[in-house]
Amino acid sequence: MLDLIRKYVIFIYVFMTLILFAVFFAFGMHLSSSSHEQLLDRGRTFLQEIVYVRRWVSLHGGIYVKRQEGMIPSPHLEKIFGNGSSIRDEFGNEYLLRTPAMVTHEVSDLANIHGAFAFRMAGLLPINPKNQADDFETASIERFRAGEMETFLYEKRDGKPFFRYMAPLPIEPTCVRCHTNYVPGEIHGGISIWVPADAILNDLRSNRQFLTAASAITVVLALMGVYFLTLPFSSRVQSRMKTVQDRWQEAEKKYQHLFHRIHDGIMVLSSDTEGRLAIADVNDTFCRQMGYPREVLLQLRLTNLVAAPHGVALKQSIREFFDQRSPSATFLESHLSSSSGELIAVEISLSFLELEHMEVVVAIVRDIRERKRLEEQRQILVQQSKMATMGQMLSNITHQWGQPLTGLSLILQDIKKRYAQEVAEPEHFLGQVEKGQENIRFLTQTVRVFRDFLRPSRQKTSFDIARATEEVLQILSPLLQHHQIPVVLYRCHGESTLARPMMICGYANEFKQVVLNIVGNAKDAIVMFRNQGDLARGEGRVELRLYEESGKYIVEVFNTGTRIPEGMEEEIFREHVSTRPSGMGTGLYMARSIIDGHMGGRIYAANTDGGVVFTLQLPPHDGTTDCGPCGDIRV
């Protein structure tokens, strides 16, 4: 930008200089033209004086002049005028006849000696050989015959400059007396005049020198004036431009730092005329991820980096995103192949960017191999936690199934006995069958709940947290009944009831695992409180409240068991931290990982009057959008 301003200022200087020089040059040309017109006017004036003299002599038919020493009569005049070519007065003085041409010639001789200018008559076929036209005069006479009225040029005589001027002399009727072969009106000659030009040319030269000096001084002063007038503005502009340039350089430095130091790889993709995706730029992190130098990556295409089973799908997804020019980001999961051939699981975030001269897609590439490994470990921990919980409950399942199994046994014995006694009572048999089917339905429902709970969650779905909570309580009810711990589920808050589904987006079984861990911990806290003698057997309870507040679904689990040690409300959610001597410290750690990390919610605990409450805050899902991890597309 500073270079542009400098060019602009230089352009102003050059433009003003050219204008000033053009003005002074035009003025100089005007001086030259004025000097030329002045010389031309002098030549015309001298010509008019000569012509007037010739006409005066011609009007009088010639004049007689007293014969002086050296003057001889003209034989040509004696031939034409006879004795009239000379006369004598009464005193014996002789007077010779002089024609206009002769008067002109004698005046020219006098002007050549004493006058301010010189002139002569010149003709193509003169009577007087001295009047023979030279080259300039001959060419001028031809031009006069063609219609021109005057000619001129500059030449030197005896080393001095002269302005030579010539005009035609048409043949007049009085000329025919001497020039019998001429016709009036024809042009056979003219008057050639030499006007001294040294004084005028010297003045012109002096004026030009003065004009040159004045123009140079004017240009310098004008440029200096412009410079000093624009100096404050230029200084401010340069200062601001320097500030802008410094900020730009700082921003560029920050951009380069962020671009190359960010933990995720960045790949800028462009599309050529054939629709192929080329790599326009990459950051250092992406180079390290792929194991290629930057120069090599810039020569490759996207298809060179994608593992074979995923190449077509990934290329098609990026191509569609490029064509749609979507302003929102899109997430993909795929596998890239490094320089060593290793498959790298990546999450790719695509965003469209329209630059001044091209359109590109910015792909942020995140290595998710560690995340995948931790996800697998988390799934294993979740399953282990489920199995540990199930191991604690298996001893109580027999109690839950004992009653319906005993009922089925009695029904079968009753049917067998009546069959042996041949007592046929259809109504009784139908009633016994209905009771048996009811017991079987109870056992089947119990098996379904346990089966669904043990099945790992593979993807996010939209589910009802109220129903999921009820299924968890159904699983835990035998264990809670065994320890005589009452559990109550409230689906309301204050005066408002909440009977409609509470749909969220997430992993249903993982949410159940969180509720199971918290209720299980509540059971353990109540049992431990009883063992310490702070609660009698049969005392203690667990309450669950489900309600909506500030656009969030809230799940509160309250128990009257052992309180959380002061200052450990956050510590208990860390890995391997437990308030129980036999605790492993994984249940609440996984609960926070699931709620905060995978469901976009929040979990926290606090001591309250009479016990401890765990609170889960979860964002609702309205069902209008797909339930997935930010709209992920796995390829």
Q: What is the pLDDT of residues 421-430, one digit of tens each?
A: 766 577 776 7
Residue 361 burial (CB < 10 Å; 0-12/13-18/19+)?
A: buried
Residue with tokens 């030449």: 155
Is this model's pTM higher than 0.85 or not?
no
* Beta carbons of 322 and 280 less than 8 angstroms apart: no
Which has more confidence, 272 or 564?
Answer: 564
Pairing label, strands 503-506, 94-98: unpaired
DSSP H/E element including 391: helix 369-420
Residue 412 identity (one-letter amino acid): L
* Beta carbons of 542 and 559 less than 8 angstroms apart: yes
Strand, helix or coil for residue 402? helix
For 261-373, CATH gives: 3.30.450.20
Q: Order the strands of the 359-367 sheet from edge to edge.
A: 277-282, 265-271, 359-367, 343-354, 330-337, 633-634
Residue 554 identity (one-letter amino acid): I
Residue 515 reports pLDDT greater than 60? yes
The maximal CA–CA distance of the chain, rounded, in angstroms, is 211
Residues of the chain with CATH 3.30.565.10: 457-634
Q: Give the Cα separation of 67 and 71 in Å (integer).
A: 6
Model pLDDT, residue 447: 67
Q: Give the Cα separation of 454 and 478 in Å (integer).
A: 17
Strand, helix or coil for residue 576? coil
Structure tokens at 521: 């911990």
Q: Give the Cα separation of 75 and 81 in Å (integer).
A: 10
Q: Give the Cα separation of 292 and 225 in Å (integer).
A: 60
Per-residue pLDDT band for 631 (boundaries 50, 70, 90) equals: very low
Model pLDDT, residue 632: 41
Residue 443 identity (one-letter amino acid): L
Per-residue pLDDT reduced to its tens digit, 265-296? 888 888 776 667 788 888 888 898 888 998 88
Residues of the chain with CATH 3.30.450.20: 261-373
Model pLDDT, residue 150: 92
Per-residue pLDDT reduced to its tens digit, 57-70? 877 878 888 888 87
Closest to 516 (Cα-Cα) out of 505, 524, 526, 527: 524
Model pLDDT, residue 4: 65
Residue 507 burial (CB < 10 Å; 0-12/13-18/19+)?
A: buried
Residue 445 reports pLDDT greater than 70? no
Model pLDDT, residue 583: 61
Residue 165 identity (one-letter amino acid): Y
DSSP one-letter code for 564:
P
CATH superfamily of the 457-634 domain: Histidine kinase-like ATPase, C-terminal domain (3.30.565.10)
Residue 595 identity (one-letter amino acid): I
Q: What angle do CA 314, 318, 322 make, to 5 degrees?
A: 170
User: What are the residue ranges of helices labelled H in 60-184?
Assistant: 75-81, 100-114, 135-145
Determine the angle formed by the axes of helices 369-420 and 508-531, rounding to 10 degrees: 70
Per-residue pLDDT band for 633 (boundaries 50, 70, 90) equals: very low
Q: Give the Cα separation of 441 and 408 in Å (integer).
A: 12
Model pLDDT, residue 617: 94
Per-residue pLDDT reduced to its tens digit, 315-347? 777 777 777 777 777 888 888 888 888 888 888
Model pLDDT, residue 382: 66
CA-to-CA dists, residue 29 to 34, 35, 195, 207, angstroms: 8, 10, 21, 11
Per-residue pLDDT band for 634 (boundaries 50, 70, 90) equals: very low
Q: Give the Cα separation of 450 and 591 in Å (integer).
A: 20
